[in-house]
Structure 1
């Protein structure tokens, strides 16, 4: 028996579906949808909020009552110093979660499932970064509320407090791009968290957040005076305590812009390779 082999017709060949072009509007909509997903995750896993709810409360109480008398003479005089410092430390450290959760999602294959959806490839990353701004907002509000309960009365009024909060949230969003890049590049979420803390703890404690810079050794003062965290703390104090925008505000905004300009393209490039 002779078997005749025929080439399959063009209609029977299964071709991979071409990825259709996503408009800017669709990209924004997809990003907001992914951000909503991140917020829903927080709702169903409230333990994710422990760091932004318990940390500002505990740190404010401990630092104020332990160091207040020694540094400023009394607790009430220390509050205008410590509240902005606690705010900056808490929100900046919270930005580490962006990298750890990104790494966890990638390890679980969540982003692999997103590849099959007709959405912008950048949306899961941008959505995660956007959703984390809700966490920064919660930490900011709780820190100011805790300070108010303890007797802190910001001289900058409501506008100064809001401006200070927005500045911290914006700078933390910029810093989160660094940890997002670490989340994309590193193999484990625990590695992202461990290395991030090794970087952040010296930066936050060797700053003007908790004690006067002039009480530090000379070599440390040189570092503290150029530490970006110090500029941000000074800027928040100027806004919250005096309603004043000074040079530290400019340095903080410039630093945030430089971080985004460097790390956002790198993060997107590395993420797109793996997405």
Structure 2
């Protein structure tokens, strides 16, 4: 008798989208700029969930800075923490978001040093989506940090004169400013050799700007030359716009100075970022 032969059959692909894709000989369509950017934005958000440092920056850091500066300076400068908080909180919102915006450049440099960036560079996608998507994903972190800071301020006694609408406008202004400033750290992330260099250089650059601003005290009592330096500080212009949005005194001049600051940051450092990115693509 002849032994029974076993006939192996290929597994069925089914009638679903996977089976259709496997049976089709057509190449998948190349994702457009928006789809690719949103994919990288989602990747940035997933990294926040898996990175305790970024989660702390978005939630823990705003709480800590609000509590520390309110009770550290409130009694000495205004005689009352509650009274000082009305002036301080809009500035602390900007400070918190500016600090966490530095992670944009660090995360990009980590991708470069680990070789992930080279993989993205070889993909058939709209190449700037790697950068644009990361920045879009970071907008969520900025909004969360700003919201947490405002909520802590409300719990401590902050009462915005312009109500909920003024607070929402202020948070929007902060997020846009952080997006503009993030292009600085993105350019630095492309230029630096190591993530530690990005963190150290960005820290050295941002700390003088934070303290040489109107976050903690008004510039009225400062010497004339120092008032001039504080006035041209981009962080000062952002704090002024946010503070006046929350207290209901926002003027066209405030918005103009704020808009010019954001536009200059994006145009100058966005252009530098584009040049550095193209050099890496051609390397």
TM-score (norm 2): 0.85
CA–CA distance in 2 between the matches of 1:96 and 1:231?
19
- Write the mapping of 1:169-248 to structure 2, written as runs, cut at 5 A: 169-242=175-248, 244-248=250-254
CA–CA distance in 2 between the matches of 1:183 and 1:175?
13
Give the alignment partner of residue 67 of structure 2, picking from 51, 61, 64: 61
Runs of 5+ unmatched residues, structure 2: 1-26
Contact 2:237/2:261 (CA < 8 Å) preserved in 1? no
| Cα deviation digits, residues 244-275 of structure 1 (max 9, x gap) | 34422220111101111111122022112213
CA–CA distance in 1 between the matches of 2:120 and 2:232?
42
What secondary structure sits across from 2:204 in the alignment? helix
| Cα deviation digits, residues 43-96 of structure 1 (max 9, x gap) | 222331212212211111111111111211211111111101111111112111
Q: Aligned-pair distance for 1:243?
A: 5.7
CA–CA distance in 2 between the matches of 1:218 and 1:266?
33
Contact 1:69/1:75 (CA < 8 Å) preserved in 2? yes
Q: Which residue of 2 aligns with 1:272?
A: 278
Task: Give the CA RMSD over aligned residues.
Answer: 1.7
Q: Which residue of 1 aligns with 2:111?
A: 105
Once structures 1 and 2 are overlaid, which stretch shifts more, 224-233 or 103-112? 224-233
Q: Which residue of 2 aligns with 1:166?
A: 172
TM-score (norm 1): 0.87
> How many residue pairs end up in the alignment?
254
CA–CA distance in 2 between the matches of 1:90 and 1:246?
26
Q: Which residue of 1 aligns with 2:54?
A: 48
Q: Aligned-pair distance for 1:242?
A: 1.7
Residue 249 in structure 1 maps to residue 275 in structure 2: no
Q: Which residue of 2 aligns with 1:127?
A: 133
What secondary structure sits across from 2:32 in the alignment? helix
| Cα deviation digits, residues 223-244 of structure 1 (max 9, x gap) | 1122221121111111012263
Once structures 1 and 2 are overlaid, which stretch shifts more, 67-76 or 96-105? 67-76
CA–CA distance in 2 between the matches of 1:233 and 1:36?
29
Runs of 5+ unmatched residues, structure 1: 1-19
CA–CA distance in 1 between the matches of 2:101 and 2:122?
29
What secondary structure sits across from 1:207 in the alignment? coil
CA–CA distance in 2 between the matches of 1:116 and 1:66?
51
